[in-house]
Structure 1
Amino acid sequence: MADTAGRLAALAEGALGAPPPVRIRAWDGSEAGPPDAPALVVRNRRALRRVLWKPGELGMVRAWVAGDLDVEGDLYEVLARLAGLVWERGEGAGEGRVAAALSAVRALREPQARGLAREALTLAGPGLPPAPPPEEAPRRTGVRHSLSRDRDAIHHHYDVGNPFYEHVLGPSMVYSCAYWNASAGTLEQAQEAKLDLVCRKLALREGQRLLDVGCGWGSMVLHAARHYGVRAVGITLSAEQAAYARKRVAEEGLTDRIEIRVQDYRRVADGPYDAISSIGMAEHVGSARYLEYARTLYGLLLPGGRLLNHQIARRPLAREEAYRVDEFIDRYVFPDGELAPVGTTVSLLEEAGFEVRDLESLREHYALTLRRWVANLEGHWDEAVRLTSPGRARVWRLYMAASALAFERNRIGVNQLLAIRPGPEGSSGMGRTRGEWTERG
């Protein structure tokens, strides 16, 4: 085993038909691959067993979360070099090249595969498949996107401790794409610009009622009440978020204008509202429930009322994959999350009765936002680990860095859709130009 890294590199090349694009450092201290490339560090045999038992993305992610795999050098560069092997699929293909190659090795389809399998098993050593790291979402039961299952999914992602999110998100406590306009030099300024953009698109005015669906830690309702004089209701399924938001509201002396509820959007019954914001929440709704979601929000608006729906969109690889999210995201980050193409979202909003008046893509803005969050996490790494666990911190670092690359490479996008519930005889009450729509009232 004096040259384990060389054997791992040869195994990868035999399976993939090309040398690995990164340097490999093995548990015995040996190295192989381009000397100027960042290194994929294989800390123990268990990492290889994880990948053999779950070829492709999930096996590699489990090894990463457990600390069996690590990176030396620029994480973004390693992910970019591995993206074509692990995440990106060919047109019509159902799996990445690593998963396809390892599946063939395990199936022993040809003599070469049998030789590779023997070598892989020798390097991996004996043993049963390792248990998934504890940060993986527990097995889900019940109807997908039922009230109770959605509540459990939200709890897994958001109730990991408000102090952890303070380190990652910074003072703004906004967990969605920022808006990097010309005056936004910091993350906090860019988040302030995004909140104000939403308020202007909704044409908020003094005394109006605003419903913020998925209000998080309260930043949107605070901004709208503070700067636009609205009366706001924020709803979330996270008890930890709600407690934090209520504390912020009380500290700013806005309890007479803002109410924070732990409530599902399907249980809101105190409409009508003048405006509704839904920022980074609709990804949790699910394709089977999306029309219900759209109709519910439509029914909560006054005629002429506006909806600002801020939502991540997926580039469909095939018709049957239109709503799929990566297995890593589903198992570790957003259980039961689903992403739809933006055209599907527009169609469903229109089917619910809305008139979609404007669509603005913020794809590049989200890549910049995610890179700032990763930098925040890395800058507070020891504290983040103490507040959660090493595995949880590694999950967040990987998912945010990989998501930044996905936005940069146009694998996913994010869009703000401005829709209106038409007034009498189809009137919109809106100006003829986008500039008029977003002017402060």
Structure 2
Amino acid sequence: MADAASRLKNLFELLLGAPLPVRVRAWDGSQAGPPGAPALVLRNRRAVRRLLFKPGELGLARAWVAGDLDIDGDLYTALDLISGLVWERGEGARSRAALLRDPEVRAALRGLVRLSGLPLPPAPPPEEVRRHRGHLHTKRTDRRAVSHHYDVGNDFYEIVLGPSMVYSCAYWETPGGTLEDAQRDKLELVCAKLALTPGQRLLDVGCGWGSMAIHAAREHGVRVVGITLSQEQAAYARKRVADEGLTDRIEIRVQDYRDVGDGPYDAISSIGMAEHVGAERYLEYAEDLYALLRPGGRLLNHQIARRPQRDESTYHVDEFIDAYVFPDGELAPLGTTVTQLERAGFEVRDVESIREHYGLTLRRWVARLEADWARAARLAGPGRARVWRLYMAACALAFERNSIGVNQVLAVRALDSGDSGMPLRARTWN
């Protein structure tokens, strides 16, 4: 079974209907494909079985996470080139059914079955989420999903995020700035949009490791309640609060946003949390936050958005992200988010896209992970570290290509008189 690489390359090109843009390197030492291009490395026959039994994005993801498949060369270039390898994607791609009717493709597939060894489907890597029956976005399933993503280990996240410990899009003055400065500027931008003043109460929904709560209390003199569903995050945040001497101004709770009942608050920040809420719960989320705000209070909702489709019924969740990164996470178009906030009673006063900033942020996170790879893999496990490297690099490209975006939506709960409390020229934060 020598020259497995040529056989793999030929099949990929049959499926794509175009020359393969990357090299293929197989476990038998063979190589095929354009010289100088990044190489898709299949380390064993199991990689082929994963692609045969689950063709498309999930099969590729399983092979990557398990270490059966790797990339030799620049990761971003390789991801850009191989994005068309997923069968279902691409305007000119033939359907799977049409491909399987092609005698040449069927012959190549039979050869790959022989090449792959025993025709048994490999078990998914242990990092893959095991699905449970029942409704999405109950308090129980949300706790489980959040734990999967955030309870990876605080030491691991320190490697990726750096001293700021902020796990959301930074706000860059220049591409050459530091990650710490850009994250501080993002937190300050949120505080400025909320117009925080000493003595006010701030609810930070999805408070993470406490960075927003600490910044708002220390720099603006507000009292903060931060809520998270992650036990590990809460423990870490409480220690940071104590080390800063801010325990009299900051309370960190392990609490679902649906269980907060001690309003009213003067302001609410929700930074990178609403992606976990889900479409069927989003109006409830907006209504709950509206009820927790005093009249005249402001909400800053910082959220990733997908592009709307002509036919929304055809939208499907990214298989890799759903299985390995954000279980049950859902992205909505910006217009949908604004509509739901307004349905809940909010008046949306400002929308700012900071899409390019997230590409810069993600590339810094990937660089930090790669620079301390051995320790990161030891702390979180090699499979988990590979998940984070792939998803962050792929997301950086998605933001840069304008496939997805991220927006800060500033909304107010107007007074009964209709007064928003906003100045005539509000964008003084710029």
Normalised by the size of structure 1, how large is the TM-score?
Answer: 0.94
Report the Cα distance in structure 1 between the residues aligned to 2:356 and 2:87, rounded to whole angstroms.
Answer: 20
Partner residue of 1:236 out of 223, 228, 232:
228
Report the Cα distance in structure 1 between the residues aligned to 2:215 and 2:127, rounded to whole angstroms.
Answer: 34
Report the Cα distance in structure 2 between the residues aligned to 1:72 and 1:186, rounded to whole angstroms.
Answer: 28
**Are residues 297 and 245 of structure 1, via their aligned partners in 2, closer, same or farther at CA, if it must alter by over 3 Å?**
same
Residue 115 of structure 1 deviates from its aligned partner by 1.2
What's the counterpart of residue 69 of structure 1? 69
What's the counterpart of residue 413 of structure 2? 421
The one-letter code matched in structure 1 to 2:125 is: P
- Is 1:400 paired with 2:408? no
Residue 191 of structure 1 deviates from its aligned partner by 0.2
Report the Cα distance in structure 2 between the residues aligned to 1:33 and 1:114, rounded to whole angstroms.
Answer: 22
| Cα deviations by residue, 1:177-205 (Å, 9 ceiling, x for unpaired) | 00002497100000000000000000000
**Are residues 183 and 317 of structure 1, via their aligned partners in 2, closer, same or farther at CA, if it must alter by over 3 Å?**
closer
Report the Cα distance in structure 2 between the residues aligned to 1:340 and 1:323, rounded to whole angstroms.
Answer: 10
| Cα deviations by residue, 1:241-281 (Å, 9 ceiling, x for unpaired) | 00000000001110000000000000000000000000000
**Are residues 171 and 79 of structure 1, via their aligned partners in 2, closer, same or farther at CA, if it must alter by over 3 Å?**
same
What's the counterpart of residue 115 of structure 1? 107
Q: Is contact 1:324-1:339 (8 Å) kept?
A: no
What's the counterpart of residue 354 of structure 2? 362
| Cα deviations by residue, 1:64-89 (Å, 9 ceiling, x for unpaired) | 00000000000100100012332883
Report the Cα distance in structure 1 between the residues aligned to 2:394 and 2:174, rounded to whole angstroms.
Answer: 26
| Cα deviations by residue, 1:206-248 (Å, 9 ceiling, x for unpaired) | 0000000000000000000000000000000000000000000
Report the Cα distance in structure 1 between the residues aligned to 2:14 and 2:286, rounded to whole angstroms.
Answer: 50
- Is 1:435 paired with 2:417? no
What's the counterpart of residue 304 of structure 1? 296
1:81-230 equivalent positions in 2, closer than 5 A:
81-86=81-86, 89-90=89-90, 97=93, 100-101=95-96, 104=98, 108-182=100-174, 185-230=177-222
**Are residues 26 and 90 of structure 1, via their aligned partners in 2, closer, same or farther at CA, if it must alter by over 3 Å?**
closer
The one-letter code matched in structure 2 to 1:405 is: L
Residue 17 of structure 1 deviates from its aligned partner by 1.6
Report the Cα distance in structure 2 between the residues aligned to 1:254 and 1:350, rounded to whole angstroms.
Answer: 35
The one-letter code matched in structure 2 to 1:25 is: R
The one-letter code matched in structure 2 to 1:203 is: A
Report the Cα distance in structure 2 between the residues aligned to 1:259 and 1:336, rounded to whole angstroms.
Answer: 28
What's the counterpart of residue 341 of structure 1? 333
What's the counterpart of residue 409 of structure 1? 401
Q: Is contact 2:16-2:84 (8 Å) kept?
A: no
- Is 1:315 paired with 2:307? yes
Partner residue of 1:264 out of 252, 256, 259:
256
| Cα deviations by residue, 1:374-409 (Å, 9 ceiling, x for unpaired) | 001001100011101110000000000000000001
The one-letter code matched in structure 2 to 1:9 is: K
SS in 2 for 1:140: coil
What's the counterpart of residue 26 of structure 2? 26
Report the Cα distance in structure 2 between the residues aligned to 1:110 and 1:180, rounded to whole angstroms.
Answer: 51
Partner residue of 1:285 out of 256, 277, 288:
277
What's the counterpart of residue 330 of structure 1? 322
What's the counterpart of residue 251 of structure 1? 243
SS in 1 for 2:186: helix
Q: Kindly, what percent of the aligned residue pairs are identical?
A: 71
Report the Cα distance in structure 1 between the residues aligned to 2:185 and 2:315, rounded to whole angstroms.
Answer: 30
Report the Cα distance in structure 2 between the residues aligned to 1:183 and 1:112, rounded to whole angstroms.
Answer: 49
Residue 36 of structure 1 deviates from its aligned partner by 1.1
SS in 2 for 1:424: coil
SS in 1 for 2:417: helix
SS in 1 for 2:135: coil
The one-letter code matched in structure 2 to 1:26 is: A
Report the Cα distance in structure 2 between the residues aligned to 1:180 and 1:322, rounded to whole angstroms.
Answer: 35
Residue 293 of structure 1 deviates from its aligned partner by 0.2
Residue 138 of structure 1 deviates from its aligned partner by 1.8
How many residues are aligned here? Answer: 430
Report the Cα distance in structure 2 between the residues aligned to 1:388 and 1:177, rounded to whole angstroms.
Answer: 23
Report the Cα distance in structure 1 between the residues aligned to 2:310 and 2:142, rounded to whole angstroms.
Answer: 26
Residue 282 of structure 1 deviates from its aligned partner by 0.1
Deviates more, 1:113-122 or 1:367-376: 113-122
1:36-47 equivalent positions in 2, closer than 5 A:
36-47=36-47
What's the counterpart of residue 370 of structure 2? 378
Structure 2 unmatched runs, 5+: none
What's the counterpart of residue 60 of structure 1? 60
Residue 423 of structure 1 deviates from its aligned partner by 1.1
Report the Cα distance in structure 1 between the residues aligned to 2:359 and 2:135, rounded to whole angstroms.
Answer: 33
What's the counterpart of residue 9 of structure 1? 9
Residue 90 of structure 1 deviates from its aligned partner by 4.2
| Cα deviations by residue, 1:282-335 (Å, 9 ceiling, x for unpaired) | 000000000000000000001010000000001133433576431000000000
**Are residues 316 and 125 of structure 1, via their aligned partners in 2, closer, same or farther at CA, if it must alter by over 3 Å?**
farther
Residue 104 of structure 1 deviates from its aligned partner by 4.9
Normalised by the size of structure 2, how large is the TM-score?
Answer: 0.97
Q: Is contact 1:159-1:241 (8 Å) kept?
A: yes
Q: Is contact 1:141-1:149 (8 Å) kept?
A: no
Q: Is contact 1:322-1:339 (8 Å) kept?
A: no
Q: Is contact 1:22-1:34 (8 Å) kept?
A: yes
Q: RMSD across aligned C-alpha pairs, in angstroms?
A: 1.7
- Is 1:294 paired with 2:286? yes
Deviates more, 1:162-171 or 1:310-319: 310-319
SS in 1 for 2:101: coil
Q: Is contact 1:323-1:340 (8 Å) kept?
A: no
| Cα deviations by residue, 1:113-134 (Å, 9 ceiling, x for unpaired) | 3212212212222231000000
Q: Is contact 1:356-1:420 (8 Å) kept?
A: yes
